[in-house]
Amino acid sequence: MRALVTFCCSAFCVLIFAASVGLPKFTLPNLPDLMVKTRRTSGDWLSQVTTLYVKGARQRTETVIQQRARAEATSRVVIQQCDEKRGFNLNERDKLYASFEIEDWSDRLKKSRPVRLTQMSGAERTVTIDSIDTGERRQFAHYTARHVKVKTQFEPSPGASTPPSVEQTDGWYIDLPGLGCQEQTFSGLVFARLGSGNHRDRLQIKWLGKAPRGYPIEETTLRTEAVAKTISSVDLLEISEAPLTPSLFDLPAGYRLALQTGNGGADLTKPDTISNRAQYYWGRFTYWVRGFFR
């Protein structure tokens, strides 16, 4: 089975799309007003509260993350205007924003530097995914949630850069067509750690059951790696279908553009001023010079 791998954020995080599933395409949703608030916890070290707002072709996601190692919580806000094919990342504390274009995944990958499985020089690693719809249903407001269980097993051959592991997910999911301005084909997306540099595991992906999931209302995931076990869960805190104010999905007045860092990136902690730009590019230049003379 053919698959495409592209790296995100770091050399260790990749997205794998099976060719039989296909890449999600841009779509213009028309969703009724809805607010869903959930809490995701991972062990006793992470708590993440996410509030999703949807209205027609627009969406807003507010996330507050609290880590045990940090006294202060971090927050972020993302607005997606599917009708305008644009979005905004907001720093509400400092009233800064960065805008981005909403694209098809296929268009996004054309601009990236994908890594195909044939380029990976490491040992082979088999990923087996079995997604089963139990047939059970529950009502959350006017939404019917499906009960889906997924087992993902990572089996490395000798010499692979990552150990064997199993991830078992048991959850209830609702359908929100067009969420994220994309067709709902995310059941074909896998996150994996493959190693870095020239030593990247070669993947063989096996699909068994292919039941789709959706937006998680309740979910429990058990990940077992060697003798270590990690449990994460999603719990519903609130759901409402009350009318939402349209301004919730617009760029707020009085916000300043965040520092632009090139290639579509931005530093949401600093405004885009001449002095901040000069400091940023001087830092990049001195880093390049130090690397050149090593």
Return the percent helix, strand and coil in the chain, to nearest 5. 15, 55, 30
Q: Determine the average pLDDT of the residues in 160-170.
A: 87
The tens digit of pLDDT for each residue in 66-90 reads: 887 777 788 999 999 999 999 999 9
Q: Which residues of 102-121 are buried (b: 16+ CB within 10 A; e: fewer)?
A: bebbeeebeeeeebebeebe
Q: Determine the average pLDDT of the residues in 15-43.
A: 79
Give the single-character DSSP code of 55.
Answer: E
Residue with more model confidence, 125 or 271: 271
- What's the rounded Cα separation, in Å, for the pair 107 and 20? 18
Task: Please give the pLDDT value at position 113.
Answer: 57
Supply the mean pLDDT for the chain.
83
Task: Please give the pLDDT value at position 7.
Answer: 32
Task: Please give the pLDDT value at position 111.
Answer: 64
Task: Please give the pLDDT value at position 72.
Answer: 79
The tens digit of pLDDT for each residue in 104-139 reads: 776 766 666 555 544 555 678 888 999 999 999 999
* pLDDT cut 90: percent of the chain above it: 56
Q: At 242, phi and psi to the nearest 5?
A: -65, 150
Task: Please give the pLDDT value at position 17.
Answer: 43
On the question of pLDDT at 15 being above 80, the answer is: no
191 contacts 13 by C-beta, under 8 angstroms = yes
Query: pLDDT band for position 23 (50/70/90)?
Result: low
Residue with more model confidence, 17 or 184: 184
The tens digit of pLDDT for each residue in 274-285 reads: 999 999 888 888
Q: Determine the average pLDDT of the residues in 35-50.
A: 92
The tens digit of pLDDT for each residue in 170-227 reads: 999 999 999 999 986 544 445 444 454 555 667 788 889 999 999 999 999 999 988 7
Task: Please give the pLDDT value at position 184.
Answer: 66
Query: pLDDT band for position 1 (50/70/90)?
Result: very low
On the question of pLDDT at 18 being above 50, the answer is: no
Residue 136, SS3 per DSSP: strand
Query: pLDDT band for position 249 (50/70/90)?
Result: very high
Residue with more model confidence, 133 or 289: 133
Give the single-character DSSP code of 9.
Answer: S
Structure tokens at 85: 């094919």
